[in-house]
Amino acid sequence: MALELKSSDNKIFEVEELVAVQSETIKSLVEDGCADNVIPLPNVDSKTLELVLDWCKNHVDMKLDEEKLKEYEDKFIEVDQAVLYDLLLAANYLNIKDLLNRACQKVADMLKGKTPEQIRETLNIVNDFSPEEEEEIRKENLWAFEE
Amino acid sequence: MAKRQTNLAKIVHPSSKITNQKRINLSQDRLSDLPDEILVSILSLLKLEERQRTSILSRRWRYLWTFVTCNLVFDKSRLQPVWEKYKCHEISIADFRTALYSERSKFIVWVNDVLELHQGDTIDEFRVFFDMDGTFSAVLDNWIRFSMRKKVKKLSLNLLSLGRHKYSLTSQPFQSYSLESLTDLSLTSVEVTGEVLEYILSNCPFIEILHVEISRSLMNLKTSCPLPKLKHLKIIFCQNLKHIQIHAINLVSFKYFGCETTRILLGDIPNFVSLSVMDSYVGYSFKNRCPMSHYFSQLETLELMILRFFRFPKLPKLRNLRLLKLDIHRLFLDGIPCCTSFLTASPMLQRIVLKVTLINLELFVGLNDPQMDGEINVRRDTCPHQCLKVVELIGFVGCFADMQLALYLINKATSLEKIIVYTQRLSLGEILHDSSYIKKKLAAATACAKKLETSLAPGVELLIL
């Protein structure tokens, strides 16, 4: 059975139900009988949706081959930050656990071993603390900052 | 302490945060745009100290880490460098003690602070691994109460203390809390009696893993109530233990390092497939009067650790054995006859892991003659083993005995798929010799391991690690 998904930029994707229900969100729509028409996904653009569907399809195809799947996942997640965030948001919205976990792991790996200053630089986070507040935080979390 | 805002009310559905410009400006901080729950998921994949350091990134991040519910692991990694220095005699024991006491005080402040700041409703895993003895009973009791309040699933205390006055676990911190969430309890260097364990276990209907190590006060582990979910039981070095009697009908694995005078009654356990025992209990367990002997035909995994002299017994048929792990002292057990006995007794064996330990360093030097001339010829075995697929040799040094053993196994296993040789030396060598000596030995061992390649049948993989 095929389903039709519409991205935020109005592109229609036709997918097998088996592939689409990797998304718990879509799965519940199907189970509730709301999936007869085109399913609009206003929070996912076509570029991201294409990637997500590729992930889902491969997870159906390679379900039994753990090694091959891991190889695929590792290659899949090698994307630049902007795409990674889009994937995170899409995986969260569509409720695709394994994609969300993999993407979270990728971000976590980006944070590991870095100082707060380095993390801010990598992620473009603006430090909005006053020097006094920073001092307070360092005291509150003394052991962690002493390392 | 200043009041902190609870940020998690900000769990927003992504649809309410869509802005059209999100992808245009790459130098934007897009990570902080993600909803709280995703950021908390990411933080849960970091170690506690790293997670805690994100508090300083920005206001948005200040308390996100306190919502992580997967684990709180407080370990002694900070002590490690001091311990290494002491082991290498760079600092005296008095200096080590001073450093320890100072680190410990800071450690306790840290744990208390983190517990105070924690805002998640639950904690999946709570682990403390630090040198703490009985003088810190009140503190430890409070930490246990905290984890009970947070409905902890896995509670692990490893208190390392070498001193006499260990921390005694009582039933006190558990009272007035529900223990239903607890599935995994691990206590090392904690004095706990059979009565306290009985109290805890009778209130934990879902307990799956129980591990008690180095508790002198444990004399009897007897529970009257059934433990239907208990799958893994580990009782290690509880020297006064006289009696184990539990009703855990679904027990899968049992690890017991202790002496044979302990009476162990586990009853009928149809799912029991994995046994791990040590030293004299090894020989005893094969005797008919030992209750363990009744389970041998069920076993799929057997782990034996033999560090003292031992006359190898006659083995019963191990009909279902798939994985054998032997950790033996090089001098006491000759590898080849030992392997022959096991291979004959275990026709279904698929994987064998042999770790040959050296306790005496002088012997390490003496036995090590990695430069081998000429071929070692092992007679083609008349009784090949049809099932053995993977052979792992840990602590491979490259000496004659090692090569003989490796070649013996290679020839015997006609269905061999993979042989993995681990040449990394144990920390013993690292402490007492300089690194260049160790490097030379490792290189020699690796060279010898490579020679094995010529004896392998086509398609058999050789991994040298």
pLDDT digits (tens, 9 = 90+) for B40-70: 999 999 999 999 999 999 999 999 999 999 8
pLDDT digits 0-9 by tens, B256-281: 998 888 889 999 999 999 999 987 78
Give me chain B's average pLDDT, please.
83
Hey, of A83, A111, A120, A142, which one would you mutate to test binding to chain B, going by the most B CBs within 10 A of its CB? A111
- The pLDDT value given to residue B86: 81
Q: How far apart are CA B168 and CA B193, in angstroms?
A: 9
With a CB cutoff of 8 Å and minimum separation 6, the contacts of B429 are: B361, B364, B438, B441
Test B52 with A144 for CB contact under 8 angstroms. Answer: yes
Q: Does B41 touch chain A (CB under 8 A)?
A: yes
| pTM for this predicted structure | 0.84
Q: How confident is the model at residue B21 (pLDDT cuts 50, 70, 90)?
A: very low
Least confident interval from A24-33, A41-50, B5-14: B5-14
- Cβ-Cβ pairs closer than 8 A, A with B, add up to 120
| B13, closest residue in chain A (CA to CA) | A93
Cβ atoms within 10 Å, residue B116: 11
Q: How confident is the model at residue B284 (pLDDT cuts 50, 70, 90)?
A: confident
Number of neighbouring beta carbons within 10 Å of residue B280: 16
- Which residues in chain A are closer than 8 Å to B41, comparing Cβ atoms? 100-101, 104
Contact by Cβ (8 Å): B30, A82 = yes
ipTM: 0.91
What integer pLDDT is reported at residue B32 of this predicted model?
Answer: 77
- Smallest CA–CA distance, residue A124 to chain B, in Å, is 5
Q: How many residues are recorded in chain B?
A: 465
Closest CB to B52: pick one of A86, A111, A141. Answer: A141
Residues of A in contact with B31 (CB under 8 A): 85, 107, 123-125
Q: Check if the beta carbon of residue B300 is closer than 8 Å to that of residue B275.
A: no
CB contact, 8 Å: A124 with chain B? yes
Q: Which among A88, A136, A147 is the nearest to B34, CB-wise?
A: A88
Burial readout B78-106 (b: 16 or more C-beta within 10 A, e: otherwise): bbeebeeebeeeebeeeebeebbeebbee
Q: Residues near A115 by Cβ (< 8 Å), separated by ≥ 6?
A: B53
Distances (CA, A) of B85 to B101, B425, B437: 16, 20, 20
Within a 10 A sphere around the Cβ of B132, how many other Cβ atoms? 25
CB B131 within 8 A of CB B167: no
Contact B56 A116 (CB under 8 A): yes
Three-state SS string over B305-349 comes to EECCCCCCCCCCCCCCCCEEEEEEECCCCCHHHHHHHHHHHCCCC
> Which of A85, A104, A113 lies at the smallest CB-CB distance from B45?
A104
Chain segment B116-141, per-residue pLDDT in tens: 999 999 999 999 999 898 999 999 99
Contacts A141 to B, Cβ<8 Å: 52-53, 55-56, 113
Q: Cβ A112–B29 below 8 Å, yes or no?
A: no
Is pLDDT above 80 for A59?
Answer: yes
Report pLDDT for B16: 38
Output the DSSP codes for B153-188: SEEEEE----SSSPPBP-SGGGTTS--TT--EEEEE
Identify the band that residue A81 occupies on the pLDDT scale cut at 50, 70 and 90. Answer: confident
Flag if B26 and A81 touch (Cβ within 8 Å). Answer: yes
pLDDT for residue B252 is more than 50: yes
Q: Which residue has the higher pLDDT, B401 or B274?
A: B274
**Using CA atoms, how far apart are residues A63 and A65, in angstroms rounded to an integer?**
6
- Give the lowest-confidence range in A43-47, A82-86, B329-333, B395-399: B329-333
Nearest to A120 among B48, B57, B62 (CB): B57
Residues of A in contact with B64 (CB under 8 A): none
Instruction: State the residue for tokens 């308390």.
Output: B63
Whether A130 contacts chain B with CB within 8 A? no
Could A141 and B30 be called an inter-chain contact, meaning their C-beta atoms sit closer than 8 Å? no
pLDDT for B309 equals: 66
Q: In chain A, which among 1-40 make CB contacts under 8 A with chain B?
A: none
pLDDT, residue B366, reads: 41
* A85:B34 CB<8 A: yes
Is A79 or B163 the better-scoring residue by pLDDT? A79
Residue B209 scores a pLDDT above 90:
yes
B23·A142 Cβ contact <8 A: no
Chain centroid to CA B13: how far? Answer: 41
Contact at CB, A144 and B57, closer than 8 angstroms: no
Which chain B residues are Cβ-neighbours of A111 within 8 angstroms?
42, 46, 50, 54
State whether B33 and A85 contact (CB < 8 Å).
Answer: yes
User: A8 to chain B, minimum CA–CA distance in Å?
Assistant: 11
A137: which chain B residues are within 8 Å (Cβ-Cβ)?
A: 55-56, 62
Say which range, A92-96, B7-11, B207-211, has the weakest mean pLDDT: B7-11
Kindly state whether A122 is in contact with chain B, defined as any CB-CB distance less than 8 angstroms: no
In this complex, the residue of A113, A128, A143 whose CB is nearest that of residue B58 is A128
Label residue B15 by pLDDT band (50, 70, 90).
very low
Percent of all residues in chain B with a pLDDT value above 70, rounded to a whole number: 84
Distance of CA B339 to the CA centre of its chain: 25
Q: Which of A108, A107, A88, A110 is closest to A99 using CA atoms?
A: A88
CB of B102 less than 8 A from some CB of A: no
B13, B18, B41, B128: best to mutate for the A interface, most A CBs within 10 A = B41
Helices A66-76 and A46-61: crossing angle in degrees, nearest 10, is 170
pLDDT of the residue at A30: 87
Q: Which of the four pLDDT bands, split at 50, 70 and 90, describes residue A75?
A: very high
> So what's the pLDDT on residue A102?
94
| Mean pLDDT on B274-290 | 82
- Among B17, B45, B113, the strongest candidate for a mutation testing the A interface, having the largest count of A CBs within 10 A, is B45
List the single best residue of B38, B110, B115, B117 to mutate versus A (max A Cβ within 10 A): B38
Is A96's Cβ below 8 Å from some Cβ in B?
A: no
Minimum CA–CA partner of B27 in chain A: A124
Distance, CA of A22 to CA of A87 (rounded, Å): 15
Residue range A23-38: mean pLDDT, rounded = 87
pLDDT band at B434 (very low <50, low <70, confident <90, very high): low
Structural contact between residues A79 and A73, judged by C-beta atoms closer than 8 angstroms: no
Q: Mean pLDDT over residues B421-430, rounded? A: 63
pLDDT tens string B69-82: 989 998 877 788 88
- Do the Cβ atoms of B458 and B382 come closer than 8 Å? no
Can you count the helices (H) and strands (E) in chain A? 9, 3
Instruction: Report the gap between the CA of B391 and the closest CA in chain A (Å).
Output: 21
Number of residues that make up chain A:
147
pLDDT tens digits for range B348-392: 999 999 987 654 444 444 444 544 444 555 555 568 888 999 999
Q: Which residue of A has its CA nearest to B19?
A: A43
Which two structure tokens, joined as six digits, stand for B396? 């491979």
| Tokens read off for B120 | 């998640």
Angle of helix A81-94 relative to helix A97-111, nearest 10 degrees, comes to 140
Q: pLDDT > 90: what percent of chain B?
A: 47
More confident residue, A10 or B90: A10
Q: What is the pLDDT of residue B6?
A: 45
**For residues A131-140, average pLDDT:** 92
